[in-house]
Structure formats: C-alpha cells, structure tokens
Structure 1
Amino acid sequence: MLTVVAFHLTPGALAGGYLGVDLFFVISGFLITALLLREREKTGRIRLFDFWRRRARRLLPALGILLLACCSAALLVGGNVLVGLGRQVLGAATFSSNWLSIAGEHSYFTESNPELFRNLWSLAVEEQFYLIWPLALLALLFVPKRSIRVGIVAVVAIGSAVAMALLHLPGGDATRVYYGTDTHSFGLAIGAVLALASQRWSTGPLSTPLGWSRWLRAAIPAVGLAAIGALLVLTVIMPADEPFAYRGGLALVSLLTAIAIAGAVLPGSLLGRGLDAQPLRWIGERSYGLYLWHWPVFVIVAASLPNLAPEGTGVWDPGAWAIGGIAFAITVVAAALSYRFVEQPIRRSGFRATFRSWFGGWWESFPRLAAGLVAVCLVAVAGTASVSAIVSDPGETDAQAIIEAGAAAIAPPPAPTTTSGNAPSAPAPTDLPGGDQIYAIGDSVMLASAPQLQLAFPGIAIDATVSRQLSAAPHIVQALKDSGALRPTLLLGLGTNGPIDAAALEQVRDIIGPRHQLILVSVQAPRGWTPGVNATLAVFAQQYRNVELANWRDAIAGNLRLLARDRIHPGDAGGKIYAGTVRDALQRLAELPPVLSANEYGLAPHPL
C-alpha cells in the first residue's frame, strides 16, 4: 500500500504507484482462498456466515470511523470536498462505490473534482469478491481434480484481463475498465489460482516440499525476488495513462505478484522470512487503515491549506510535498489509533463484547462514566455533522461550473469549408486567420476557456472534453482529415492530464501535413508531469516552421487567482488570457516571412 500512498501524496514522483492496488488484489485473492481451503481441510466444510462475520469485523469498524471523521472535517472545510458526498457515502456503506461511479460517469482520472472517498472503489471490488467467491469456491470444490479447478479459475482470470483490454479505447478515459469488477478482478482470480495450486505445499517436510529438488527449492524464491524487482521497476515506469497498462500491463503486474508470493510462501523460503521482517509486518498489519485514510486526508488538507497549493513546478514542488507530508503524518497517526483501539479489539472479541468492554459498568467509576459520555457525544456530533455535510453538497465544484459553462458555449462545428483534407493551395494570408479557419482539440482547460475562444475567434470549431490525453489526438485528427473537416490551423490544448510523448505530436504533424499550421498550448497544472509536458511542447514547436507555442503556462503564472481552486481551470478572466496566448501564437505565425524558392536563394541550377 505504500506505493499507492506515495502515488497519491506525492503527485508525479511515482508514476506507477497506483499498481499497489493490483498487488493487494492478488494478495487478497491468495489469502482469502487459502484461508477457506484450510478451513475446508480442517473441518470438512466452509462456514460462510462465520467467514462473512470475520470480514465484517475486519473491515467495517475502520470504515465507519473514517466516514464519520472525514465527513465531519469536510463540513468544516466546505466547498469542493462536499461535492457528491452523499453518493460516495452510499457507495462506501453498500460497497458499490465502483459501480456508482461508473453509472454516474465520474472519472477516476479527472482533476476537476478530487472526490473525498474516491479510493474506496477498490474496497468495493474486494467486498464484492468476498461475497461471491466463497459461494463459487464451494461449487468449484465439487470438481474432483485440482488441476481442473485451477484451470477454471485461470480461465476466469484470463477472461477478465481480456475484457479490460478489449473494452479500453486508447486515448480514452479508462475509468470503466479500471473500476469494473468484471474487468479488474483478474488479480483476485490469479491470487486464487495460486492458492489452489499451492494448497499442499506446506504438507510435506520443510526440507523437501512436494519432493522438489534442492535446486528448484532455491530457484523459486530467487525468481520471486526477481519478480519483486520487476514490480518495483514498473511502479516507476508505467504511468496510468499508457494504453499498455490496460492491455496486459496490469495483468502482468498481477502475474509478477503471484510469482513473488509463490517464492515467499514456499516452505523454508528465505524470501518469506525477509518479507516478514518487523517493520514490514507493522506496515502490513496497518495497511488497510493506511489505504483508507491517506486519500480523504490528502483531499481535506489540500482544501484546508490553499496557500500551500502546488504551483506545478515539477516533482519536487515544495507545496505538493508540504501537503503530502502533512497528510502522511495524519494518516499514520489515524491508522495506528484506529488499529489499536478500534479494529483489533473488535476483530478479536466481536462487536458486542467490545462494546460491553467499552461501556459496561460505566456507572461504577467517574472516569469510566466520563469516557463513555465523551464517546457517545463524539459519535453523535460526528453523525450529525456527517448528515449536514451530505445535505450541504453544492452540486458541483467551481472547476466543474467553469467547465460546464464552456461546454454549453460550444456550438456544433459549422459545415466543412473544404471537401477534402488538403489545405488550400493559396499561400497563408498575412492577417490572422478567422475562427472558421481554426479547429481546436483540447481537454477540460480548453473546455473552460471555450466561451472566450469563441469571442476571440468567431466560428472556431472546438472539440474539448474532460480527462482527454494527448494520445487520443492522432485518432481524432485522422478522422477530421478523412471527413474533410480539417481546417488550415489546428489548435491542440492537451497535456493537463498526464505526461505526453513527442511521438504523438509527430503523428499529428504527419497527418495534417506541412501546409497546415499547428499551435500547441502549454500546460498550467499543479502536477509533477507539468514541466516535462511543457518542455516537450516547447522543443517540438522550435523544430518546425509551421508549429507555434501558445504559452498559457507563463501567461497565467502571475494570475493564478483567476483559476478555480484546483489551479487548473480558468474562469472568464483567465479564459481571456488563454485566448490571448492563442492570438499571440497566430500573430507570430502570420509574421513569418514567406518561404523562398531555391531560385530566389540563388541555388537553382542555371541553364547552360
């Protein structure tokens, strides 16, 4: 879970930190299946209600404390953190957060609304697995051969991974396949496969498990260690916006995790002893609480301390690290207290016995009476505050309001001015092109700026949407060219939502050809990838005569107050600056001297 915490609390520092969720899925699938199989071997049956009761004791106490504490804090902070709170609490209480977000088209990757309990999607997937898998396992155990049982679950894992790959559209929003239990359960299934396959590993002597040779017993932990090394590399180099992540990448992570677990659980494995070291064990025991608390605390801290908001100066942005550090400290304390005083007592003794120990005999001494009254008052106040927070939902964040205003301002593009994708043969005019000569493709920042772009360039065609990545641009531009809707000037405002690849820019330029003008808009966002995006855009613009940079980043740097609280999306005044940077870029292109022929340079061959 530490990789996930680092991924969220230090934006841009660990590109693949989100992979920790997939590691946890595999571990959970393995542990739960192994537990159920051991119970079957020991008692001859699986007590479903006992299993579900144990899961409730493990998960519900910490979740309840989290919801009460963070909803109360959200009420104090107010504003954006209250948006969608009712839906999020409902999803948390019913373990359906992932499907409610999918149904409501709430993107996991959007920066315009950092939902307070967004991280609970994975808990929902886990709980759905806990509900369905024991029933499925009971049916599966009727299959006589263990190899067939393993094969059936392996087919389920493959089917889930294939579904993710087929349903994901490169360059599109990956929320559906990332949140979906059907498309993101392969890790849980792979863990179950390992548990079924390794069911009898621990039955033989430690020196000769399954009669394997000494070489093989040494090789498996070594391969497991190599798998851990590969996982660490992937957490650094595999960002969430890469299509590979959803077309085999996450499945590869799950397989590597299973290999690492196999190397650790083999009887006598030195790798297993190393991973069971006390510091790692302490973190592992509290990993559930660390995961629960880190994201809501981060959102609340960021909203409470707007003066510390990162400026988007890179991975080492001091504001980002300050907010992340404060959130991390609070998270560790909250997770430790929850584990010590709430989770462990209820897990060991159950709800009733724990409550009796807390409140039983409260009348016998004044300290116990005072503690009981304080506890009851705190719960009552937190419950009331949570309900008030849900009722106080403003409906949309300030960034969403700006984006929706921009979306409403976008009219359907006018009819194409040409019948083919070729640019007009006449030379570019010296005056600035009108809006009917410009086609704009962008993300939510361009969408927020759409009204001002329309005022500055009447007739401009704008195709902008939330969470769009640069990787989607080549497909969009190719479709425009094929349909004859491509205009002489292409405005590209992408890069807010993740790192970019210069190869995608090259693809766009190859599609439009050298006779079209291309304007790239730089990025303002408090994210670790922003400097890299802007550097790539600037270098690319310098390479080509028909490419220019609209320097939105520098233009708005001294006027961040004109942006929404996320320091990304401009309002009306910020939108005018955005449009102004585009106008300046067009002016620079218009003032370029015409290209001379070889003869005008005196380089053409003279006739003999």
Structure 2
Amino acid sequence: MRWSKARLPMTATVASPRVSTPRDRLAGLDGLRAVAVTLVVVFHLGTGVMPGGYLGVDIFFPISGFLITTLLLRERAEHGTIDVLKFWQRRARRLLPALAVVVLVCCAAAFVVGGDLLVEIGRQVLGASTFSYNWLAIADGASYLDSTTPELFRNLWSLAVEEQFYLVWPLLVALLWLVPSRWFRFAFVVAVAVASAVLMGVLAMDSASTRAYYGTDSHSFGLALGAALAIARHDWPGFAVPHTRRGRIAGGGVGLLAIAGLVVLAFVMPAESPATYQGGLARVAVLSVVAIAMATVPGGLLGRGLDARPLRWIGQRSYGIYLWHWPVFVLVAGVWPAGGRSPATQWTIAGIALAVTLLAAALSYSLVELPVRRQGFRGSLGVFTMQWRRDRWGVRRGAWARATVVTVALATTALAVGAVASDPGDGLAEARIRAGQAAIAAAEARAAAPEPAAAEPTLPRGDQMIAIGDSVMLAVAPELTAAFPGISIDAVVSRQMSSAPAIVKALVEAKQMRPFLVLGLGTNGGISLDTLQQVKRIVGHRTQVVLVNVQAPRGWTPGNNDILRGYSDRVRTVELADWHAAIQPRLDVLARDQIHAGGPVGGGIYVDALTAALLRLVSQPELEGGPHESGDKPAER
C-alpha cells in the first residue's frame, strides 16, 4: 500500500499469480450491468411490472466488489504495492463528474418546478456530495418505499454504500495480504459477507427494515462476496474456470440459469416482504456471484453473449442511467398536470422519463465521464469547449463555447443553490399527515369524555371503531376524528399490509380490539389474500371489518383493489370502502402525489366512503346463531 512515495514491503510469500482474464476488460460485466440497471429502472418507473426490480442494486454490489478487488490485486501483483491515493483519485475521476452534473441539473430543475420537490433537498444534496446519503436517510427516518414526498435523489443511497466500501477496502486488502495464508484471506471476506447478511435479517426482525436496507454494515454482503470471488480467482487462478469446451458450455448454462433466477426474483420478491431481508437479498448476491464467475470465464459463451452490442452499450452507460433515471422520473411526474393517473398516464410518464434518462446518460458518458476519465479534470475542458480555433470569419469558436459552458454552469449552480435555500420543510402530503397525527392526539385526549354519537342511529359510534392504516389514513385523520369521535387510529407512514396480522394480534391479546376494524393499507406495496384471511381469523366474527381500497399511481393498485373487493364480496362481516372510486371525480383535491388528501374536501370524501361501507355492514341481515357471523354474502348486495 502506498500513500505517496512510501511503500509497504511485500510479504515473504511468493507473489500470487495474476488473474487470467484479459488485461483491459472483463468479458460479460457490461452485460450484467445492463441487466442490473434495467431491473432497477423498470422498478422505479412505477409501472408495477416488476415489483422486485430493486434487486438490480444487489447485482451491482457483487460486480463492484469483484471488479475493484480484481484491479487492486492486479496492481499489487504488478507493482508490489497498492497506491491508495491513486486508487481514490481514479474513483473520483470515475464517479464525481457525472454525479455533480446530475445533482446540479436536477436541483436547478426542481427549483423551477417548486413545490414538494424541494422538501428536504438540502439533506439530500449533503448526502449526495459527502457519500453519506444512506446514513442521513436512516437518521431522518426516511424509507426507501415512502411515497409521502418525492425524494429527488433517493437512488443515491446505494452509491453512498459503494463509496464507503471504496474508502475502506484498499486499506483492508493491504492488511489482509500481510497474512500469508490464502485460506484465511478468503475465509475472512466470506465471514464478513455472512455477518452482514445475518445483521440484515436480525435488524429486519426488529421491524427496522429501512435500517437493514440502507445500512452499509447490513448491506455489504454483495460487495464482500464479489471481493471473495476476486480473491479466489487471484489466489487459485483456476477457481470456477472450466478448461474444456464442454466445461465452458456447462458453465455458461449455469451462469445463464443464475441470471434467469435473478430475473424471476425480480418478478416475485417484493420489497415489503420480510423474507426479502431474511435471506432473500443474500440469495440475490449468491446468484450474482455465480453469474459473474461464469460470465468472466475466458472464451466462455455466456461472456460473449453478454457482450452483445446493445447490452454493452447499456452497461457502459449504466452508471449514468442509474444516476439520472430516478430524479428524472420524479421531475417528469412533478410537472405532469394534476388529475387522474391512469395506467396509460403512468406508462406515458415512464416513457418520457426513460427517453430523457437515456439521452442524458449518453451525453454524460460522451461529454463528461469519458473525457475526465481519460484526460483528468483539467485536460477534459477542451473536449466540450472545442479548443481555441478560429472559424472562417476569424471568430474564436472555443472562446464562445467556453463562455457558454461557464454561463450555463453558473446559472445552473445558482438555481441549485436557490433550490436548497427554498426547502419548504413539509410537503403538502406531509403537512396533512402531521395534521392527522395532531388530530389523533387530540381525539385520544378527549377519549375520557366522548362526544355524542353520530346522528345516524344505525351508524357505529367512534368508540366502537379502531382504524389501522398508513400515511393516507394519517392525512385524513382530522376528518375521521371529527366524524367518528372516540375512534382509535393507529396509522404509520410507509406501513405495509403484511404488518397487519401482527398489529391486530397484539390488539386482540391486549383486549383492545373493538367491534369494528377499519383497515386502510395497500398503498405502499402489494397485498395478499392470505394476509386478509389471517386478519379475519384473528379478530373472529365478533369484529366486523371495513377494508379501504387504494388510490395511488402505482402498478400494484389495480391488483390490490381487486383482492380487496373480491374478499369483501365473499365474507359477510367484511365490507369495502371504495375510496378509489369515490375520489376519481375529484382528483384535483389530492396532493400532487395523487395519493394523499390535500385538504378537508379530500378527507371528507374519504369519510363518506367509509360511512357508506359501515352502513352496508350494519345493514346485513342477521344469521342464525348471532348477528353478522362470517359466511358468504348473498348474491344481491
């Protein structure tokens, strides 16, 4: 390891052989990057086609761990040391220019658009510029799946994890190679991976899924497994490298199956599932390492297939695509006119965002990333200022170009600074949520002396109702507590339907369950019929249930609403509050996110939908053996 001129001596062991892959590049990695970034982009564009596409990040991590470790070990094998400062300089050249452009341009655009796009943008820019986004998000209580505010740079959490790895890993490699045992080095890195995966599972068990997902310590297993593969290839050059034609064909088949497995998981492993954190993402990392090992086999068919020109084009620009896609999508959605977000509209927004992303990434790669990587920060200036050349009229074209670049850069920076200075603190949806929390607290304070029952004689009183929900319910809590005095509301931002059985079970065991349960979940991810059945089994027939369906421009909304309606149609003591249908004529009263009520009018529509469902529920004819027992509903409703 070298800080400047100083060197650490090599160990007494014989120098390890070099990796037997081509010097300039590793076959197949660009194709794997293309697969990874495609999964992430499809997931983030909000069409709901690929609910597990977020795992593309967990394909990037092993690729990064493998590639960086391979480069470090090559340098040590060639020069006898690792120049840490030059390594960090190369990483800075590779990552900082494109990142700076994205942050400045998108901040400037957010300032022009205004509104909720500016919420907490200062914290986001700080996290992006210091590569601490993940830890600042954890400290702020932000969630990867939170749709309350359109967090502009949410995707940069993973870049922060990688940069923290790049900061520490070269030093650790140098220390590891002071140990002569190859087995110890390999086992140590594998043990780090296992410990990180176990920590993620433990944290998720304590309902800290955001901490588990964002934490560098709990989400480094992919980086470590990729590094372990590079170490194994370095210390045992034949590791996972078939030498016969038949072996290479079989290895390519294994790698292809691993990639297919990753794609399947992208369709079936939603982010809200506890299994995702308790081994699911670790399996993704293992499959990714298998795919990397087989793709980088010299002369392998899989590597050649992944090096196909379209995949290679996407893979080479995958960094820029990843940087641009999420803020561009948020900006396009932010400028879209208020109103309904039909599936066709959502696809239109996604298509526009994708086209802008690809154009921006291509320009960034050609005009920013490649010039800086090849010529350094100073030497690259001439590429986009056309040098100092005169045209046929004697005008210095380079001077005009340089002046234009400087002017645009200064204007963009000024707008970006204006965006940070204009942070409104709370977005419209968040303000409504805070008002809802205050209303719940006030209602609880009045619980000792509940107000008179509602005018409708057959309508349940508020003190007979308990409501469990997410931020949508929080946003309408002022109207709920006014319409149903004494109602108990337990609503939390980003809550998933999968958490409902545990919450309901705790209420039943504490003898706090009431005759009417209102369940308003499903905004933040997919739901399952099994979860609804679990809730009903726990509360039994004495508690009647109202399911509030979903209004959200998300791909899973139609499926969730179909499940909620189908279940409420079949079970006698369950009714559907059709919030989605009720709000459609008045989408203008929602916040810009088209999810949360933007004021009392939206909250009143929510209350009306709930009231209609309660009236239908209490109007059900009694069955023999007691009122409103569970069972099939009559054909006519």
Q: Alpha-carbon deviations, 1:349-386, whole Å to 9, x = none?
A: 11122236666974975211111111111111111111
Distance 1:270 1:243, change over 3 A: same
Q: Which residue of 2 aligns with 1:453?
A: 480
Provide the rounded CA distance (Å) in 2 between the counterparts of 1:203 and 1:486: 63
Q: Alpha-carbon deviations, 1:489-525, whole Å to 9, x = none?
A: 1111111111101111111111111121111111111
**Deviation at residue 211 of structure 1 after TM alignment:** 8.5
Q: Which residue of 2 aligns with 1:194?
A: 229
Q: Which residue of 1 aligns with 2:156?
A: 120
Q: Which residue of 2 aligns with 1:420?
A: none
Provide the rounded CA distance (Å) in 2 between the counterparts of 1:565 and 1:359: 40
Provide the rounded CA distance (Å) in 2 between the counterparts of 1:357 and 1:492: 59
Q: Which residue of 2 aligns with 1:476?
A: 503
Q: Is the 8 A contact 1:201 1:266 kept in 2?
A: no
Q: Which residue of 1 aligns with 2:351?
A: 325
Q: Is the 8 A contact 2:339 2:587 kept in 1?
A: no
1:491 is paired with a residue whose SS is strand
Distance 1:579 1:378, change over 3 A: same
1:124 is paired with a residue whose SS is helix
Provide the rounded CA distance (Å) in 2 between the counterparts of 1:351 and 1:447: 49
For the pair 1:44 / 2:80, whether they are aligned, the reply is: yes
For the pair 1:136 / 2:172, whether they are aligned, the reply is: yes
2:624 is paired with a residue whose SS is coil
Provide the rounded CA distance (Å) in 2 between the counterparts of 1:330 and 1:589: 49
For the pair 1:257 / 2:288, whether they are aligned, the reply is: yes
- The aligned amino acid for 1:580 is D
Q: Is the 8 A contact 1:72 1:386 kept in 2?
A: yes
Q: Is the 8 A contact 1:160 1:186 kept in 2?
A: yes
Give the counterpart of 1:343 among 355, 359, 369. Answer: 369
- The aligned amino acid for 1:549 is L
Provide the rounded CA distance (Å) in 2 between the counterparts of 1:492 and 1:477: 10
- The aligned amino acid for 1:22 is D
Provide the rounded CA distance (Å) in 2 between the counterparts of 1:355 and 1:524: 49
Q: Alpha-carbon deviations, 1:67-124, whole Å to 9, x = none?
A: 1111111111111111111111111110111111111111111111121111111111
**Deviation at residue 216 of structure 1 after TM alignment:** 4.1
**Deviation at residue 414 of structure 1 after TM alignment:** 7.7
**Deviation at residue 431 of structure 1 after TM alignment:** 2.3
Q: Alpha-carbon deviations, 1:548-597, whole Å to 9, x = none?
A: 11111111111111111111111211111111111111111222222235
Provide the rounded CA distance (Å) in 1 between the counterparts of 2:485 and 2:608: 14
Q: TM-score, normalised by structure 1?
A: 0.91
Q: Which residue of 2 aligns with 1:283?
A: 314
Give the counterpart of 2:215 among 143, 159, 180. Answer: 180
Q: Which residue of 2 aligns with 1:601?
A: none
Q: TM-score, normalised by structure 2?
A: 0.87
Q: 5 Å matches for 1:84-103? A: 84-103=120-139
Q: Is the 8 A contact 1:416 1:485 kept in 2?
A: no
Q: Which residue of 1 aligns with 2:608?
A: 580
Provide the rounded CA distance (Å) in 2 between the counterparts of 1:9 and 1:361: 39
Q: Which residue of 2 aligns with 1:525?
A: 552
Q: 5 Å matches for 1:105-504? A: 105-169=141-205, 172=207, 174-199=209-234, 215-307=246-338, 310-311=341-342, 317-355=343-381, 362=388, 365-411=395-441, 413=444, 431-504=458-531
Provide the rounded CA distance (Å) in 1 between the counterparts of 2:126 and 2:223: 24
- The aligned amino acid for 2:512 is A
1:302 is paired with a residue whose SS is helix
**Deviation at residue 45 of structure 1 after TM alignment:** 0.9
Q: Is the 8 A contact 1:221 1:262 kept in 2?
A: no
Provide the rounded CA distance (Å) in 1 between the counterparts of 2:413 and 2:127: 17
Provide the rounded CA distance (Å) in 2 between the counterparts of 1:143 and 1:430: 80
Distance 1:14 1:203, change over 3 A: closer
- The aligned amino acid for 2:614 is L
Q: Is the 8 A contact 1:74 1:81 kept in 2?
A: yes
**Deviation at residue 246 of structure 1 after TM alignment:** 0.7
Q: Alpha-carbon deviations, 1:229-280, whole Å to 9, x = none?
A: 1111111111111111111111100100000111111222111111112211
Provide the rounded CA distance (Å) in 2 between the counterparts of 1:4 and 1:180: 19
Identity of aligned residues (%): 54
- The aligned amino acid for 2:600 is D
Distance 1:358 1:268, change over 3 A: closer
**Deviation at residue 341 of structure 1 after TM alignment:** 1.1
Q: Alpha-carbon deviations, 1:115-168, whole Å to 9, x = none?
A: 111111111111101100111111111121222211100000000000000101
Q: Is the 8 A contact 1:445 1:569 kept in 2?
A: yes
Distance 1:596 1:414, change over 3 A: farther
Provide the rounded CA distance (Å) in 2 between the counterparts of 1:309 and 1:247: 37
- The aligned amino acid for 1:575 is G
Q: Is the 8 A contact 2:182 2:235 kept in 1?
A: no
Q: Is the 8 A contact 1:362 1:372 kept in 2?
A: no
Distance 1:551 1:383, change over 3 A: same
Provide the rounded CA distance (Å) in 2 between the counterparts of 1:128 and 1:371: 37
- The aligned amino acid for 1:557 is Q
Distance 1:149 1:366, change over 3 A: same
Q: Which residue of 2 aligns with 1:12?
A: 48
1:198 is paired with a residue whose SS is helix
Provide the rounded CA distance (Å) in 2 between the counterparts of 1:472 and 1:394: 32
Root mean square deviation of aligned Cα:
2.1
Provide the rounded CA distance (Å) in 1 between the counterparts of 2:387 and 2:299: 49
- The aligned amino acid for 2:348 is A
**Deviation at residue 10 of structure 1 after TM alignment:** 4.0
Distance 1:357 1:509, change over 3 A: closer
